[in-house]
Amino acid sequence: MYINFWYVAAKSGDITFGAERPVKVQMLGQHFALWRDKKGQVQCISDTCSHRGGALGDGRIRGDCIECPYHGWTFSGAGDCVRLPSLGPDARIPDRTRVDAYPVQERYGLVHVFLGDLPAAERIPILPIPEYEDPAWRFINLTLEWKIDYKRAIENTIDPGHNEFTHPTHGFLGTKDDYRVEEIQLRDEPWGTGFINRMHAPTLAQRDMNEAAGRTGDKWIEGGAGTHGPHCSWTYIHPSDQAQMHGFAFHTPVHEQLDRIYVLFGRNFLADPKYDQTFENRAQFIAEQDRYVLEPVRPKLTPHDNNHEFMVPADKCVGRYRGYCRDWQERGWRIDVAKMRADYDRVAYAIPSPARREVKGWVLAPVPLCPRATAETAAKKARG
Ligand code: FES
Ligand SMILES: [Fe+2]
């Protein structure tokens, strides 16, 4: 798991205006409280009270702020303690009582929270979806929860070799003697990699879809997939020249073994809302096929290299994705999950927020981060 990316905390509709209580959300193994202020802006702060560790998300919303349920300390959306009742009304509130507050943006009906300390100018953009605003496109959304390391699901998405066997909806279960995966030409972008290639696919199961796509029988179709950050992916399926389906997945690691997936799935045909249920059923059906193969995969946590797996050319994009992840570790963004997990009952950590670059003096320690791999290797060499 990595800091310094935008993660989806909730659907916009889950953080309601005028609510009495905040919403508690777990992401990256840490806890957060979210609420909508009087202007309608969603706020997100670390859930752990700087006093004696109360869960702020169990408290009440007071105007634009939230109040800890334990002793009533009250925090603004900027993370500042603005009321500390036990000191009396005129006391100066020490700065060190602040808690981490995170940038929030709402887009595509989802609440995106920047979990990290990078200043605005250096942040990766939220995965762009130009089709979302295009009136020719119609989107459905799903939320899934799988008991896996989220990177297993990203690697599944960018793996063209699994379609033939995992998804009889897309492939032929290995019954074609001439089956092989077409050579992958990777397209590297600053924040991810991906490819478009051809695949031989059976006819679509739904008659409406086939007719609208102008499909009859088996066909070579265009498909592709790619990544954006360690946790987002895109998938293109073009059943015919005129009919396109584009899926986007925002993975939120609740913790290292639980993946909450916000899926947006768009199409430029059968755009009438009356077809939403057909597309949702198809997306759920295919997702279930992926979940079935992914939950039992060993080891539970995705390897960072392929020393103990036998990779083939169809895994080329998976290999490149791992390279990107190693680069993010090099930047010092990878959470030391083993240490965080070992400390869980003894230490309350916080994901460092941008304000930590500006001001010193915080009650909670920042989450432990993995050493940069090359620095680690150099240190090992120096030790002989
Ligand atoms: S623990 Fe939050 S006010 Fe005391
Ligand atoms: Fe799949």
- What secondary structure letter does DSSP report for 190? T
pLDDT score of 57 more than 80: yes
Given this model, what pLDDT does residue 177 score? 82
Given this model, what pLDDT does residue 336 score? 97
Given this model, what pLDDT does residue 283 score? 93
Distance from Cα 327 to the centre of ligand 2, integer Å:
26
Given this model, what pLDDT does residue 174 score? 76
Given this model, what pLDDT does residue 198 score? 87
| Ligand 1 nearest-atom number relative to CA 59 | 2
Instruction: State what percent of residues in the chain have pLDDT above 70.
Output: 97
How many degrees, rounded to 5, is the angle at CA 256 between CA 252 and CA 260? Answer: 30
| Ligand 1 nearest-atom number relative to CA 84 | 3
- What secondary structure letter does DSSP report for 125? P
Distance between CA atoms of residues 60 and 74, nearest Å? 9
Chain segment 245-302, per-residue pLDDT in tens:
999 999 999 999 999 999 999 999 999 999 999 999 999 999 999 999 999 999 999 9
pLDDT score of 377 more than 70: no
Helix (H) or strand (E) holding 320: helix 316-330
Chain segment 303-337, per-residue pLDDT in tens:
888 889 999 999 999 999 999 999 999 999 999 99
How many degrees, rounded to 5, is the angle at CA 173 between CA 171 and CA 179? Answer: 70
Mean predicted confidence (pLDDT) in 81-97? 95
Using alpha carbons, list the distances in angstroms from residue 12 to 24, 35, 140. 14, 11, 15
| Ligand 1 nearest-atom number relative to CA 54 | 1
- Pocket lined around ligand 1, Cβ cut-off 6 Å: 49, 51-54, 68, 70-73
Q: Is 238 in contact with 142 (CB distance < 8 Å)?
A: no
Mean predicted confidence (pLDDT) in 33-38? 97
- Token pair recorded at residue 338: 């083993």
pLDDT score of 383 more than 60: no
Question: Cα-atom radius of gyration of the chain, to the nearest Å?
Answer: 23
Distance from Cα 219 to the centre of ligand 1, integer Å:
63
Given this model, what pLDDT does residue 187 score? 96
| Ligand 1 nearest-atom number relative to CA 56 | 2
Given this model, what pLDDT does residue 378 score? 59
Nearest-CA residue for atom 4 of ligand 1: 71
Note the ligand closest to the C-alpha atom of 55: 1
Residue among 70, 86, 87 to mutate when testing ligand 1 (max atoms within 8 A of CB): 70
Chain segment 223-251, per-residue pLDDT in tens:
999 999 999 999 999 988 889 999 999 99
pLDDT band at 379 (very low <50, low <70, confident <90, very high): low
* Residue 54, Ramachandran bin (φ over 0: left; ψ between -120 and 50: alpha; else beta): beta
Note the ligand closest to the C-alpha atom of 168: 2
Distance between CA atoms of residues 97 and 65, nearest Å? 15
CA atoms 120, 58, 367, 148: torsion sign: negative
pLDDT band at 203 (very low <50, low <70, confident <90, very high): confident
- What secondary structure letter does DSSP report for 313? G
Distance from Cα 290 to the centre of ligand 2, integer Å:
5
pLDDT score of 171 more than 80: no
Nearest-CA residue for atom 3 of ligand 1: 71
pLDDT score of 207 more than 90: no
Given this model, what pLDDT does residue 210 score? 76
Residue among 56, 62, 66, 71 to mutate when testing ligand 1 (max atoms within 8 A of CB): 71
Given this model, what pLDDT does residue 47 score? 98
pLDDT score of 65 more than 70: yes
Distance from Cα 77 to the centre of ligand 2, integer Å:
39
Distance between CA atoms of residues 272 and 138, nearest Å? 8
Mean predicted confidence (pLDDT) in 90-111? 97
Mean predicted confidence (pLDDT) in 60-77? 98
Chain segment 344-364, per-residue pLDDT in tens:
999 999 999 999 999 999 999
| Ligand 1 nearest-atom number relative to CA 53 | 1
| Ligand 1 nearest-atom number relative to CA 72 | 3
Distance between CA atoms of residues 104 and 7, nearest Å? 10
Q: Which domains does the chain have, with CATH numbers?
A: 1-124+335-384 (2.102.10.10), 130-326 (3.90.380.10)
Distance between CA atoms of residues 94 and 301, nearest Å? 41
Distance from Cα 76 to the centre of ligand 1, integer Å:
14
Tell me the average pLDDT of the chain. Answer: 93
Residue among 68, 86, 98, 364 to mutate when testing ligand 1 (max atoms within 8 A of CB): 68
Given this model, what pLDDT does residue 311 score? 94
Note the ligand closest to the C-alpha atom of 237: 2
Q: Is 265 in contact with 142 (CB distance < 8 Å)?
A: yes
